[in-house]
Structure 1
Amino acid sequence: MGHTTRDQKQLLTRVRRIKGQAEAIERALEQGTECAAMLQQIAAIRGAVNGLMAQVLEGHMREHLGDVAATPEQREQDLEQVLSVLRSYLK
């Protein structure tokens, strides 16, 4: 996928931030941190994952669905793939 290669540095930064946030929750659980602080961190992770999803999804849609050289059949297949991923993500 070209867009993930092109945006690799940004995407890796997002993933590493999410990883750090998850590790912070793990430490908080081990230390018996108050639940309100953990809830705030969980909400932050959710926002970070949503941002990552939006960035990858946008790149995918621009590259695959916006490809003028793609056949109508290929576009339909790409659209179905995106819709399937969105359905599972939104569950």
Structure 2
Amino acid sequence: MSHTVHDQKALLTRVRRIAGQAAALEKALEQGSECSAVLQQIAAIRGAVNGLMAQVLEGHVREHLGAENATPQQRQEDIEVVLTVLRSYLK
């Protein structure tokens, strides 16, 4: 079973929290809120996305790279996947 399926409830909770934060940001912008409140909301969203990324990435590394039955070729392919995602995420 995939770690994203195993952790589905927790991951969906995080995603829904992020969606709520994004909706609050949109509302703040529409209402002309102070820039400090807008910046604080953006920082909160970024932190939430980073937490989600860390949780999914950790599960991926543990399940795929840490799998006892993974072949060296499978590990290398998974390393490339992780590195590609990290490069994209860190841009």
Match of 2:89 in 1: 89
1:18 aligns with 2:24: no
Q: Distance in 2 between matches of 1:82 and 1:16?
A: 25
Q: Secondary structure at the match of 1:85?
A: helix
Q: Does 1:30 align with 2:27?
A: no
Determine helix, strand or coil for the equivalent of 1:76.
helix
Q: Percent identity?
A: 77
* Alignment root-mean-square deviation, CA: 0.8
Aligned residues: 91
The secondary structure found in structure 1 opposite 2:84 is: helix
Gaps in structure 1 of 5+ consecutive residues: none
Partner in structure 2 of residue 80 of structure 1: 80
Q: For 2:5, give the aligned amino acid.
A: T
Runs of 4 or more off by more than 2 Å in structure 1? none
Q: Gaps spanning 5+ residues in structure 2: where?
A: none
Code of the aligned partner of 1:27:
K
Q: Measure, in 2, the Cα distance between the counterparts of 1:79 and 1:60.
A: 10
